Structure 1
Amino acid sequence: MDEAFDALSNRRRRDVLYYLHQADGGRVDVCDIADTMTAWEVECLETVESDHFRSLLVSLRHVHLPKLAEIGALSYDRDQDTVEQSDSPVIHDWVDLAAVEELN
């Protein structure tokens, strides 16, 4: 339980789960997640910085996605560079609750 709450305490990890929640299932390319999250973080699609994108992509691949996979929130295929949302109802409930509190 502590590991799950620790993982979800990070904004970028929650953003990955929000993205997957909106993606309606299936495998998603990590670059697509990084592209969308970069736009969210800089708050304007026209000003997306390539350095910001690259930095985010590295942190997703080496820190955030492995951590989320470790707690069972998603599956991460490093070879294909894709992720898929977990089918865990507990994870879905946590993401729903966090989204209501954080995004509304």
Structure 2
Amino acid sequence: MEAACSLLSKLERRYLLYQLSDGRRANIDDLIDQIAAWELEGDGQGGYDAVDEETRQQVYISLIHNHLPRLADYEIIDYDLRSGDIVLDDGFEDIKPLLEQFRQTEEHPELRKRATL
């Protein structure tokens, strides 16, 4: 449980897993744009329209040097940087219920408000 909470504590990892859980596979380029837009939207800076090359680069670096290897170490995902393909691995099922709780909280502002009180 401690490892699952640690893995899901970072917003970028949760967004990555939300996207993968909807389709079970994705390409890193698509995920970079989606994650950057979510982050900017959450910061009140827009969304897709506000994603610039610098933001994309920052998300890319954090994914390949931190988030993807960490999730792969726990067999949550498997990825190939040459092709850019990222797929869910068997370990995802272990954290899926907790991820869904995070998703519900993040998608519903009234739950987010209660969580901060």
The TM-score with structure 1 as length reference comes to: 0.85
SS at match of 2:26: strand
Residue of structure 2 aligned with 1:57, choices 38, 57, 60: 60
Gaps of at least 5 residues in structure 1 are none
What residue number does 1:92 align with?
96
Q: Which residue of 1 aligns with 2:105?
A: 101
Alpha-carbon RMSD: 1.6
1:72-96, Cα deviation, whole Å (9 max, x unpaired): 2211223322210234432221221
Q: What are the within-5 Å matches in structure 2 for residues 64-75 of structure 1?
A: 64-75=67-78
Partner deviation per Cα, 1:35-67 (whole Å, 9 max, x = no partner) = 111111122222211100111011101100111
Structure 2 unmatched ranges of 5 or more = 42-46, 109-117
Q: Look up the match of 1:83.
A: 86
Measured after TM superposition, the shift of residue 2 of structure 1 is 2.9
Q: TM-score, normalised to structure 2's length?
A: 0.76
Q: Which runs of at least 4 in structure 1 moved beyond 3 Å after TM superposition?
A: none
DSSP 3-state at the match of 1:37? helix
Query: Larger Rg: 1 or 2?
Result: 2
Q: Which residue of 2 aligns with 1:7?
A: 7
Supply the distance in 2 between the matched residues of 1:49 and 1:21 (Cα, whole angstroms): 26
Does the 8 Å CA contact 1:13/1:64 hold for their aligned counterparts? yes
Q: Which amino acid aligns with 2:76?
A: A
In 2, distance between residues paired with 1:89 and 1:73?
8
